[in-house]
Structure 1
Amino acid sequence: MIIFIFLTFWLNLFSQSESEIYNRILTDKFFRGVVADNIIENKKYEDMVSGQFYTYSQLRAAVMDWIEKNPKEAAKRFSDMLSNKGGYSVSFNVYDYKLNPRLKDLIDKMEDASKKNISDENIRAYASILFDGYKENLDYQLDIKPYKNGLAGQQMKYDYVNLNLEKLSDEVERIDKAYDYLKKFDVKDMEGIIKMSDLKYLEFSKYAISLKGNKRINYEQGEKIKSLLRDVSVMLSLRALLIKYRGIEFNSFVRYSKVIKNFEAGIKKLFLNNDENFNENFLKIYSKITELEKEISFLNELQNIQNSLLEKSYSCFLDYIIRKLDYSNKYFKIKQRKKELASYFSKILSHNLNEIDSGDAEIMDEKIKESMEIISLENNIKARHRKIQFLFLDNLFPWDLRVDGKKLYFKIKTDFS
């Protein structure tokens, strides 16, 4: 149920000139791999490499090495191949990443809690982009229908089509909202996805505006507006996917570096792919990234809990004195329990989550609850001590409590107001 998933892709890279192919071979390692795959598929490698190759990867590595050493000849051969075939293929494999089902309930619980920190407006906007606007049919609900202008008994000729302006207006509004929302994310581009989505949005918007006021348009205009709607929708889908990818890339842990690299390759292949499998491949990579995104978000929440447990801070001078004297041993017990819980989460964060069973997940749930209760208790204690000092003792204490990095020190007050 993802918005902007369609069966055709507008990008026709096979129209590139030989010089453009040459430049891309020099600068894009991924594209060199595409060239190598197509040379092998079309059996054009016999005079490039020699020797025995027992696996495809060995042959591919040898062909890529030849391409790097002979970029001009490789560009020429690839260009000739495109002229003969009219296109090229891009293999598509998505790394099969699965979320541990035993942790799913726990992760969903943490995810629901984190969503409380996001404004309702942003949640609605994102949901609109990803779920509400999904279109199953290729007409995209524009209701562009043939207009009959023939006479009875004669063959009907469709020179003009009726345009449902209300539906077109709805689609323009949907695209505008999606584009405005995605523009808020400042992420590094990949393969020109952001640049192309900007261009396609501008082209679609200008053409849609030019049709306003027309109740009927000719057939070519009808086909063009539908084509532009498909184009901009596909590009905004890819842009949303890129933003999602950059999010997990930025927040990830070292253990996921290989998986993330696979997703990067998958997005590039999806961008290059212009066959009928675009819909299916988009869903594959989107769902897998979503699974990984949930796990990384969960681990980051655990990391935040651990950091809070390890934190040693005081709200004021009175808070420091009371907790240091600790006649009842109350604060020492809190400190020790925080240390034990932090040690537990340290082990979890270095553990493979796929190896955690249902019993481990239940224990983790209890530890999370206990940690949140202790953190909340300590924060309330700090706030209470600060309030007491503010109301009764601020003008009596000549010291301020200061923190410089992780170092705690006291300083004589200079302002008693």
Structure 2
Amino acid sequence: MPVTPEVAASGEWGPRRKMLLWLAPALLSQYVLDVLAVGPGLPALVLRVVWALCVALSALRMDEHSASSMRLHTTFQCVAGSLCFIGLVLVAGGSDGAYFHLFPCLPLILCLIYPQDTLPVMLSGALCSAGAGGMLWMAGRPMSQVLLWVGIVVTVTLVGAYGASEFRKAQRAENEGRLERARREALESLAISERRRAHSEKLATIGQLAASVMHEINNPVAFIGANLDYLEREVLAEPRRASREELAEVFRETRTGVERVRQIIGDLRGFSRMDTEEPTECAVADVVSDAVRIARLRLQHVARLEVDIPEDLPPVLAVRRRLAQVLLNLLVNAGDALEARGREGSEVRIIGVCEGARVVLRVEDNGPGFPPHVLPRLFETFFTTKGPEKGTGLGLALSRELVEQCGGSLVAENREEGGARLRLEFPVGGSVKVAS
């Protein structure tokens, strides 16, 4: 792959190519050592230039994204470098020259430069051992000395290749460990994001109920205040006009009002809290009661709410607050759909039945139902037909996710007689493993 001047100027070279381009002038600069070893000479300079050009041209044409290209150019550089080094040893005096004793070093150096591939280094070791043995044989040295040098070069090559192999294994293990840590961190971040998303949707639902909550709390607070005024007048009056029965009734009403306010605040606090509870068997009637207590605040001025949940329905395995949050989302959505119609004739129903090994809850209303183009996208994240002040597009998507975590299902459909229906199905408690 030729490298244009534009690519070179843009700094898009990879680390291997940059290293080789630095290596080329370094090889050329080693001519100073040749001069010190044998004096100035054209053959040594030519060999240095050829060696540096082979490295530089190979680096420029190498594709670091292709394994085959990397191996081809690595092999070429190792073979070309070994041949050029053998030529330098011959120019510098052969087996009696200063460079001869560096034969074992070249394969080792190549192992450090190219640790990713063993074969090119082994080829270099074979060439160096053949070059060293050939020079000694041509110089008339004993066969034992020839075999000794061949053995030294081969041994150093094998040790270098083994070290490079171990380095590759360690590098691969480190990369796998890094990827595993990144995967775990990503999963942890996703879990945190999901918890925050669920919390945001809870707060959004509570925010939609704020006006109704204020109205609902205002009523008991108003008669608590009136009762306190009455008690103050009667207790301080002389002579006392109120009977003990009247005062007892006022105290009972005051306690009822305080309990009502406490219950509303407790329910809202429970729904807004990010829970980490484990799934347990919970009675469907109790879960529906939890959701209905808050949903009535939204529905009391919009529609009539009917609850038909048999007390003998089998329990389901779920996180009670999560399941109540799902029902609250569905009831608030039904209230939003019916709001424009007016309270007259508007109805919302929660019906519970047992069908075989499944507990089925149906949340129905007699509103306009789901338009055909909306129904397929109803559970998409951030899809909503409401205005920005009423919906985030997360409620139904989150509700389905929470139901599926309990081993159940949530589907939407239109009623034949008009209106919308959300159908929740759960296995009977203990008959399914809940998803974490």
**TM-score, length-scaled by structure 2:** 0.19
Greater C-alpha Rg: 2
**TM-score, length-scaled by structure 1:** 0.20
Ranked by relative contact order (alpha carbons within 8 Å, sequence separation 6 or more), the top structure is 1
